[in-house]
A = this chain, B = another copy of it.
């Protein structure tokens, strides 16, 4: 169960409340708000323990290193990675996916090799592959989506060949809320001799994740989408694959020996850690994970699912609405359009009521084309939202409809 007073853990809500403009924040799929505990952790770190990590030969630096490495262990434990050394800290899920594309793809893919993605990918799991495909001559293929916004595993099976080297799929869609069967997808990929990559940007914050159970070789996520600070993300990689990979960025920390024109590298995860890392970011991420784990990911998942279902039902009453959400496995993400009211206009009308939603292509242009829309409005719920937020959303949507009704009776007041 989610505590009733959970909103009070997040200072931003009381700040806007106290200014007489309560914030109804329904854009958590873009980035989440931060609990006081995470904010205080950053403050504490900089006021007490700030020092560079790993290279230090004094106590303060050892303290900083210890808490930084604890954050790595915490992140490993959070997704049930077999060891802390299989966690690489990055800026965000996007950098995690680029790291795979560059360090694995650029060095392993050859002309004609195939990488399979899906029709519901975020740009972050598309554009890196466009770049690597251009450099290597690899070919991209796509798992199709069916009419209920679910991936069609038959189309995956058809696409898998001996040329398939990787299958990279989003775990939870940031537009549809679909939870994809990544365990099955991984099994199919492995059967075909391909590696399996999971974009976990929208799963890590919302549902319990177990990378060993999924069996995937890589799993990427972002801290800022799960109550953590901006600028920190992580990549889980199967350790034996990481060991065989070339490095990505070069610089301090990731080396063993450096000569003028050559160098050899440290062991993973350090192979992939060039330069001073986002130390406070990692420590803030640990605080966020502590916070989420105390509440319980299972409880968060259930709470969000039921809030999402409630919202889908309530919003269905709005005149002219179209909701893009599977009948099963939906999470707290609801994308929709309303006849005669453009998503951007919806967003502005909602904003004037203190409701923050997103309008646009949600970094998923190919999916928008598939849905045959230019853009959608999207409300995304998190643990600090409740039914009253859904009510506020629904009535503001009704107001939008009335403002844009083809035969307006009332003048906008």
Contacts and interface: CB of A to CB of B under 8 A. Distances in A.
Interface in A1-38: 11-12, 15, 23, 25, 27, 30-31, 33-34, 38
Interface stretch (A185-193, A276-284, A405-413): A276-284
Interface stretch (A237-245, A252-260, A308-316, A382-390): A252-260
Contact of A57 (B11, B249, B347): B347
Interface size class of A (residues with CB under 8 A): 35 or more
Contacts of A261: 130, 133, 140
Contacts of A128: 249-251
Contacts of A371: none
Contacts of A278: 91, 230-231, 278, 281
Contacts of A135: 106
B51 A31 contact: yes
Interface string A211-234: 000000000001010000111100
A219 B9 CA distance: 41
Interface of A: 11-12, 15, 23, 25, 27, 30-31, 33-34, 38-39, 42-43, 46-52, 55-61, 91-95, 97-98, 101-102, 106, 117, 119, 122-124, 126-131, 133, 135, 140, 142, 222, 224, 229-232, 246-247, 249-255, 257-263, 274-281, 344, 347-348, 350-351, 355-360, 363, 365-366
